[in-house]
Amino acid sequence: MALIVEFKGKRPVVSPKAYLAPNSVLVGEVEVGDFASIWYNAVVRGDINYVKIGNHSNIQDNCVIHVTPELYPVEIGSYVTVGHGAVIHGAVIMDMVLVGMGAVLLDGVKVRFGSIIGAGAVVPPGTEIPERSLVVGVPGKVIRQVSDAEFEMIRKNALEYLEMATESFGSES
């Protein structure tokens, strides 16, 4: 069973249709939408600001999601994939985005609809990523637009993770 921790009177709110790995951790003001999945060893901390995770989004193994007091909550839209080991700190991610494995998004980052953040990219504080952009490198830079095939892959990936979550965790959160 996932570890759900109340912090300063705020307790995570998880849709009964969401899927939580048995050793995932959610702390404080966290909201998890319908058919979202939080995978093994992922930590989602809404202790000093809020975290919202949209419908059909997946937070993969070993991710860390945290916030900054007052200025930077975390908002993750729908059909978002946050790849293994990524760190999201005080960032906003719109719908239909893929954040690659090991990527780091820092305070004040905004990733617009349909974008891909490449594996291992580090997106500096305050960076705004335009719609359907491919970002790679350290520091993360836009190198081109996301192709139609890549855009469709974002949606398919989110749906594949929903299927895996259903098979892995069944109807129990």
Express each pLDDT in 80-116 by its tens digit. 999 999 999 999 999 999 999 999 999 999 999 999 9
Q: What is the pTM of this model?
A: 0.96
Q: Where are the domains of the chain?
A: 3-169
Q: Which residues pair with 37 in a beta bridge?
A: 19, 58
Domain 3-169 falls under CATH 2.60.120.10: no
- What SS3 state is found at 133? strand
* Total Cβ atoms within 10 A of residue 143: 11
Residue 169 — pLDDT band, cuts 50, 70, 90?
Answer: confident
